[in-house]
Structure 1
């Protein structure tokens, strides 16, 4: 049987050489509170491109200074960020890898100084700052910041944009009834809670015509929270607005531990994929090539997003090829040691 994991995949005219995706993972390594890339980021991402990953998605990148998780997050809120990202995209593409960026706002989980923003003034936990409830002007400014971030990502040469709507950050906070207690048009019904994400998608589409992904947390693991069924509903709305793939994660909204095990989020991906009829990415403790292959062969997802496994092994695609008894191209400089 031909490996699906190592087969090419085309999404909105962009062809990936395989279905292995480096998931966005914050490195907290910007050095001067300015959101700029440095040598570490160049080495970190380029090494996975040399390792033959099909698509790299750069870590959560803040669309505004107050939207950072930490002072050491990458940013894309200023034109000064474009130069570093352009260098990175060129570096990664030299090795036949495609590259995307995750645009993000941390909401109430931001730990920066000054006011932090959220749909409602509810702190994440007893050790966290109470956020300021966003006004409509704040919401409009945030939508505009996502749009400007997408514009800069386009100028920097990214192939893919992913909107971060998961893990308890701002957009997820609007989506969930646990954290969204507003009484205006951005709160209450599922349609209203979805409104910010809808507005962000529409704004980005004004300046971006490449593949657009959305990362979601398909379950809040709470009886009053979001469920995969909610994301079947919202997934249909996303698809109608031009979203090409939903990257399916879970949790992060509340300080509650999630019982994780290999593939624990794959059923969420499968449900959304078939319930919406949209491409999905599976993520979460997928560590072995055979497991990844099973997910794809059984049409439970279209792409495999790897996180910690690619931290351990930047050349995991080669590991996968050996285990699946397939051939994968080697970087020319590594040919003598690749087989």
Structure 2
């Protein structure tokens, strides 16, 4: 199944191999603009026959960057470089998405940082400002404007980053959201920011929309996959096409039991109980594991992270091991 096509809306991926968004921390200055590194790094995975490449967490506001070296999409000035990037990937027969993000309390940039509540991530991070309703409204608008720019730049997919302890995840989790207004308190109100961001983005974007989540907080008072079944149903009802299922990182603690494909069970639960398409991610390095996740119905797509840093041509390795004939780029025929 790994090399079968997958269709969402009007978009058909040539296979089910997805490059997971991974921060490169490679911007030459603090402008957030695409540079030569990005123009080599991402298209090389397209040459390697990855079906969908998702560009790293790209900040919707300057103060929402994880680091000062992150890519940005908060200004129209970013569109030109992003458009060149999508053109390069498309020219090699792959599709490309972008992860829209706000770091929240995990931002490491200078100046004030924002979060649902004034609680630092750990003793090494600064205490954020609790967001006002004006801050929230401006952030929702920033996501919508980022979606408009992503469309102008030619991206095929948008993914909203609601995982790993960044801003939207901070609003969802009771561990980090201690608000008592419309955006915090009970489960419904903690979902409100993600609800409003999805609605605002869809005003600008009609293509496939993913949301990356952390399906487990790994804390007795935190969220579990059972909670995310409900949230996944809501996202599907709003028009989200796929839930990209990761876990953890809302707190510094690591998951208690990490092994290859350890998060696939969460993707499977959401896929079955919420009846929503899912992507599985997390230490998926072996082709046989990727194939089994898809064949067993745990997920619809498989996302690879570090393995595609180590081997940009992993799809070729996978095809050989699974006995699939993979058409190489024309210029590589002699060595494939």
With the shorter chain as reference, the TM-score category is over 0.9
Write the mapping of 1:282-293 to structure 2, written as runs, cut at 5 A: 282-293=280-291
Deviation at 1:11, TM superposition (A): 1.1
SS in 2 for 1:336: coil
The match for 1:141 is 138
1:266 and 2:259 aligned: no
Deviation at 1:236, TM superposition (A): 0.5
1:150 and 2:150 aligned: no
Q: Deviations over 1:76-112 (max 9, x none)?
A: 0000100000000000000110000000000000010
Give me the whole-angstrom Cα distance separating, in 1, the residues matched to 2:323 and 2:247.
32
For residue 43 of structure 1, the aligned residue among 40, 44, 48 is 40
The match for 2:50 is 53
For residue 322 of structure 2, the aligned residue among 317, 321, 324 is 324
Give me the whole-angstrom Cα distance separating, in 2, the residues matched to 1:201 and 1:264.
28
Q: Deviations over 1:193-239 (max 9, x none)?
A: 00000000000000100000000000000001110011100001000
1:124 and 2:121 aligned: yes
SS in 1 for 2:253: coil
Q: Deviations over 1:120-166 (max 9, x none)?
A: 00000011100000000000000000000000000000000000000
Which consecutive unaligned segments of at least 5 residues does structure 1 have?
Answer: none
1:252 and 2:249 aligned: yes
Give me the whole-angstrom Cα distance separating, in 2, the residues matched to 1:11 and 1:208.
14
Deviation at 1:334, TM superposition (A): 0.3
Deviation at 1:260, TM superposition (A): 1.4
Please give the TM-score of this superposition, normalised by the length of structure 1.
Answer: 0.98
Please give the TM-score of this superposition, normalised by the length of structure 2.
Answer: 0.99
The match for 1:168 is 165
Give me the whole-angstrom Cα distance separating, in 1, the residues matched to 2:296 and 2:284.
15
SS in 1 for 2:279: strand
Q: CA RMSD in A?
A: 0.5
The match for 1:281 is 279
Deviation beyond 3 Å, 4+ runs, structure 1: none
SS in 2 for 1:206: helix
The match for 1:103 is 100
The match for 1:77 is 74
The match for 1:307 is 305
1:199 and 2:221 aligned: no
Give me the whole-angstrom Cα distance separating, in 2, the residues matched to 1:320 and 1:9.
18
Give me the whole-angstrom Cα distance separating, in 2, the residues matched to 1:169 and 1:145.
15
Deviation at 1:257, TM superposition (A): 1.9
Give me the whole-angstrom Cα distance separating, in 1, the residues matched to 2:202 and 2:301.
23
Aligned length: 335
